[in-house]
Chains A and B, each alone.
Chain A
């Protein structure tokens, strides 16, 4: 296949970038979500129809199109010494990012094809659809088995994630003032070397249409504030950073004041200095009390990834890895103790992966992954369900951009709370020799998600049922199933929080995914650490 005749012609590019009438701006199509009604914007519907009509004309048995606008805003401050002096420099940063384009996915002769472009015109959509068909036809030469899609209903809908105030509408000077004030409070003690504060907001505005009749527009807003304090001991050659990482949420500006940055700044200022002087842990077997700000990552790496069906079947073998949780284990394998109940969920309020419909156009759900310690279900999408003899997708399809191929990504994966009367203090009281861990740190886990090691952000010794001073250089090692079988206490729903990852990587080309992992505070006994 020759290539030179398929790139956008110089003429079409110039026309598309010259501000002519044919060009439609993202703002025209996505508009103000406050004005959203129950139906997608007609301009988007018309553009989507171009792709679907062209795909059918070219012989596709199935096609879908996603037109998306993605917005990111990053604002913050770094307060740190000037090079070569003790003078504190206060360095602000503020960036707005916009990305707008479309991607078309087709099935021709039983094979997927995909193509995408940032030039959102009817002419380019038709051209790119033909490109996707060409890609699919070429791939049929090396087809392992034809694509089979689990059935789904056709939906016509418009959905907006719950939020009270659009963070993109809040003045940036207000944001900078807030983050500067918190960072300055951290740096107030001259023994603190550096303070960082950042506010991250993300808006995903997306239209999906398929040849099966779906036409769906969704708008999702995410907010993530963060503070960090760094202390340095030049004489000992060590540094420590203490982070106040607020749960990243699918929420608006209202989430920021709830984070109480100003109140937490003095706390992490004191804790980073204590951490710098903290003695190293004595290696041995200890009980662990893990806070939600820490445990989310262990859930993510050991449960979230091991229960992805594409990993279990070898589709991620060359990049993200496989899974020890092979398909013969589904339905009966003892994953953890009876206290461990894990759900896959794209419907829970505030979850980063929460949407009404996935990128296959499937209505999202909540489903059990682990029930009373037994592995029940994988995360699936439409073209995977038949591979494990299931009849419907669990709604886990996602693409991180208009230019990315949709594939199976993790939903919010959360640990159900324990009995309502159990408090974190109850758990600490029951530990004779242990460690309390807060926040996430560096970690390592094998490609089958079985052997792991996790650090953290802050560590406190527990002796005789009481929280003591801070420790340093703590990490715990375990095997996934040993760890979860050792879980012998989880606090109640009042202590449930959902932290998460805004940028979980997977796939080739690599894509990110934002996902939450809610949990209360469990007590995972007898885990090894060093």
Chain B
């Protein structure tokens, strides 16, 4: 994994090779460890290192070109800078460009867990074993996936901006099925820390769901029903909802937040009072970054809490 100084040196090197007025750089290095299991046994697993440098060059009149590479040798970095600049020079001015950000004060996030960052198979296999044990105890068949990741990310540009962050993430999901294939149960857990991932709990919950489904299934006729969703189900729906919060889409009639006849629904009460939706990058269990969105659209602005919906408004 790259240290803060490694990424600073790398970004400085990219900027030093740059000849055009604008140069934005993103760097990442990642380490992933994962185990996949099915039919009550491990099937595939791996240990994977990845790294990437993304460079966007901009001319005085706003022409932009980007290159992404993962060879971090001097010659390859130089070639990537030249490539981005060449693309910028033959592109057309971007009328929606924004000025490069200067130095920023990024918030401090605490979402790196050292245990998770170093965990390997010996830390993960007992969690898988707990699920398989639960499957065998209940005469069920388990399939699932456990993964932990450690990431180093950095941003910088020719205007003096620099940001660096390290974070970890881990997840476990499992599906239990009965032998006849007539019922299944699913459970999932995610956290910045692998210590929070509990195979015994995931195995028990998914097995209970599967056994419950085996016993009491009946045909449900089409109609309107009250549905109670567990958190992971709500999470999936919110993921789709998030696509519609862009201001441009709402203003231009392309979103559920567009108002019929023109304008947006910003400031109107659209949801029940018990609905409040926030983004909170400071949650220590979530793998958030100190900046929002990288350099897309001139971004890398400091991340902060955002309230999208408050008491239904």
Q: How large is the interface on B (under 10, 10 to 19, 20 to 34, 35 or more residues)?
A: 35 or more
Given A95-B67, A145-B41, A239-B254, the answer on whether A135 and B91 have CB atoms closer than 8 Å is: no
CB pair A112–B45 under 8 Å, yes or no, is yes
Number of inter-chain CB pairs below 8 Å: 229
Encoded as 1 (CB less than 8 Å from any B CB) or 0, chain A from 164 to 194 comes to 0000000111001000100000000000010
In the complex the two chains form, what is the Cα distance from A23 to B71 in whole Å?
10
A35 within 8 A of B: no
- When distances are taken between beta carbons in the complex, the residues of chain A under 8 Å from B198 are none
Within 8 Å of chain A (Cβ to Cβ): is B129?
A: yes
B9 CB, nearest partner CB in chain A, Å: 10
With beta carbons under 8 angstroms apart, the residue of A83, A89, A112, A138 that contacts B125 is A138
The answer to whether A97 touches B68 (Cβ under 8 A) is: yes
* Interface hits, B87-133 → A, CB 8 Å: 87, 90-92, 94-96, 118-122, 125, 128-129, 132
Q: Does B61 contact A (CB under 8 A)?
A: no
Q: Mark B143-162, 1 if CB is under 8 A from A, else 0.
A: 11101000000000000000
Across the interface, which residues of A come within 8 angstroms of B303, CB to CB? none
Question: How many residues of chain A are within 8 Å of chain B by beta carbon?
Answer: 84
- CB distance B95 to A89 under 8 Å? yes
Is the CB–CB distance between B73 and A19 below 8 Å?
yes
When the two chains form their complex, are residues A509 and B32 in contact, meaning their CB atoms are under 8 A apart? Answer: yes
Q: Judging by beta carbons under 8 Å apart, are B49 and A96 in contact?
A: no
Query: Which residues of A from 95 to 138 have beta carbons under 8 Å from B?
Result: 95-101, 103, 111-119, 128, 131-132, 134-135, 138
The 8 Å CB contact of B121, one of A1, A171, A173, A237, is A1
Q: Which residues of B are found within 8 Å of A17, using beta-carbon distances? A: 10, 72-73
Whole-angstrom CA separation of A142 from B35 in the bound complex: 11
Residue pair A234, B253 in contact (C-beta under 8 Å) = yes
Measured in the bound complex, the distance between the Cα atoms of B83 and A226 in whole Å is 24
CB of B119 within 8 A of CB of A3, answer yes
A405 at interface, CB cutoff 8 A? yes
With A7-B1, A83-B251, A144-B40 already in contact, the answer to whether A92 and B94 are too (CB < 8 A) is yes
Could you tell me the distance between the alpha carbons of A143 and B74 in the complex, rounded to whole angstroms?
A: 44
Q: Chain A's nearest CB lies how many Å from the CB of B313?
A: 20
CB distance from A396 to the nearest CB of B (A): 16
Across the interface, name the chain A residue whose C-beta is closest to B67.
Answer: A96
**Complex Cα gap A508–B145 (Å):** 7
Which of chain A's residues 457-509 have a Cβ closer than 8 Å to chain B? 508-509
Contact of B49 among A89, A114, A116, A314 (CB under 8 A): A116
Q: Is A258 an interface residue (CB 8 A)?
A: no
A115 to B50, CA, bound (A): 11
Residues of chain A with a CB closer than 8 A to B226's CB: none
A314 touches B90 (CB 8 A): no
Once the chains bind, are B91 and A315 in contact (CB under 8 Å)?
Answer: no
Expressed in whole angstroms, the Cα–Cα distance for A113 and B35 within the complex equals 10
- CB-defined contacts of A19 to chain B, threshold 8 Å: 73-75
Contacts known (A101-B70, A172-B90); A143 close to B253, Cβ less than 8 A: no
A318 at the interface (CB under 8 A from B): yes
Given contacts A82-B95, A84-B251, A176-B92, contact A98 B65 (CB under 8 A): no
A18 to B83, CA, bound (A): 20
> What CA separation (Å) do A315 and B142 show in the bound complex?
10
A298-332 vs B, CB cutoff 8 Å, 1 = contact: the mask equals: 00000000000000011111110010001000000
The docked-state distance in angstroms from the alpha carbon of A235 to that of B143 is 50
| A235: chain B residues within 8 A (beta carbon) | 260-261
Residues 24-47 of chain B, each 1 if its beta carbon lies under 8 Å from chain A, else 0 = 000000011011111111111111
**Does residue B239 face the partner (Cβ distance < 8 Å to A)?**
no
A116 / chain B contacts, CB cutoff of 8 Å: 46-49
Top 10 closest pairs, chain A to chain B, by CB? A144-B41, A19-B74, A237-B260, A138-B121, A114-B46, A508-B145, A317-B143, A17-B72, A232-B253, A97-B68
Interface residues of B (CB under 8 A from A): 1-3, 6, 10, 31-32, 34-52, 63-76, 80, 83-84, 87, 90-92, 94-96, 118-122, 125, 128-129, 132, 141, 143-145, 147, 173-175, 177, 181, 184, 186, 247-248, 251-254, 258-262
- Other than the given A100-B71, A115-B46, A314-B38, 13 more pairs (CB < 8 A) read A13-B6, A16-B73, A25-B76, A94-B64, A97-B69, A100-B70, A114-B44, A141-B125, A180-B92, A193-B252, A237-B260, A317-B177, A405-B46
